[in-house]
Amino acid sequence: MNISILGIPMDLGAGRRGVDMGPSALRNAQLAGALRKLGHEVRDLGDVGVRIKETLDAHEEHGWIFRDSIFDACAAACERLLELPDDTFPISIGGDHSVSMGTVAGCARGRRTGLIWVDAHTDFNTPESSPSGNIHGMPVSHLIGLGDEKLRSIGGDWFLRPEDIVMIGIRSVDPEEREMVRAHGVTVYTMKEVDQLGITRIAGETLERLGGLEALHVSFDADALDPTVAPGVGTPVPGGLTYREAHLLMELFSDSGRVTSMDIVEVNPILDAYNQTAQIMVGMAESLAGKRIL
């Protein structure tokens, strides 16, 4: 497999600083080297340019004030991914989860794409519903064409269909966000369903629901994992995926041979312990790329 790694070192969409150092943490955890050991051809494309808060003359903490700079970074990521050869498996490394507005659109290449959203949060807010204004809580709504006109234009006239989205590991949803997710018919496996049904069944149902689509994109937020496993995240929520549940999920998706691209986001080394979270997320990429115990 030909893998290309693209960094988007952005924390403009998040409420806490530090996640812009996620790409460096993942590289220091030997992401490229680990994938090469599996026999893949790996190319690191470097980072998309992202402005930092200190250069933006921002005097408020409300996240919406960074909208234009977030648009620029996401649009640049989308364009860079669209330039890759068709046989490339892109792995985009953030950065906060707002980067997915660019990475999902860029990896889709205009195709009907299934989005597998592994996260503690649905990230389905709009500017009107968001309590914080932080754009890392809004990417999915914009990917289906809701929300701000500028942000939803990142992929041009391409949008995800709500029925082509499956969310796994969810356990924190704002009240208005909950109603929008239900109204649009997005498939959601909360941690209650993970506990009741088990990861093997959920993975199978996910692949069946997204059957026949041209591409599948896994967007993996490190906070999907339980904070005892992955402490280096800005919005930890207790009761998340275990280490083995997450690996098994990636292994089962890998076995299908249908996943075409991946995001790794929300790794925050400032909040981490000895780069533990970055190392674990490298392991998730390895499992999705075919690493097995035997």
The verdict on whether residue 157 carries a ligand-binding annotation is no
Please tell me whether 121 is known to bind a ligand. Answer: yes
96 is catalytic: no
Whether 263 is catalytic is no
The residue from 11, 47, 119, 251 that is catalytic is: 119
121 is catalytic: yes
Instruction: Name the token pair of 72.
Output: 């620029």
- Exactly one of 11, 97, 164, 217 is catalytic; name it: 97
Residues 6+ apart with CB under 8 A from 267: 19, 22, 25, 26, 93, 94, 222, 232, 233, 277, 278, 281
3-state secondary structure string across 39-108: CCEEEEEEECCCCCHHHCCCCCCCHHHHHHHHHHHHHHHHHHHHCCCCCEEEEEEECCHHHHHHHHHHHH
> Does 266 participate in catalysis according to the annotation?
yes
| 119 annotated as belonging to a binding site for a ligand | yes
97 belongs to an annotated ligand binding site = yes
Q: Find the catalytic residue in 96, 221, 226, 286.
A: 221
Is 57 within any annotated ligand binding site?
A: no
Active site residue 59: no
- Point out the catalytic residue in the list 226, 245, 251, 266: 266
3-state secondary structure of 189: strand
- Which of 20, 164, 223, 251 is catalytic? The answer is 223
**Rounded distance between C-alpha atoms, residue 96 and residue 69, angstroms:** 13
In the sheet that 2-8 helps form, which strands lie side by side, from edge to edge?
Answer: 41-47, 2-8, 88-94, 259-265, 215-221, 113-118, 165-170, 187-190
62 given a catalytic annotation: no
Q: Which residues are annotated as a binding site for Mn(2+)?
A: 97, 119, 121, 123, 221, 223
Which residues are designated catalytic? 97, 119, 121, 123, 136, 221, 223, 266
Q: Which residues are annotated as a binding site?
A: 97, 119, 121, 123, 221, 223
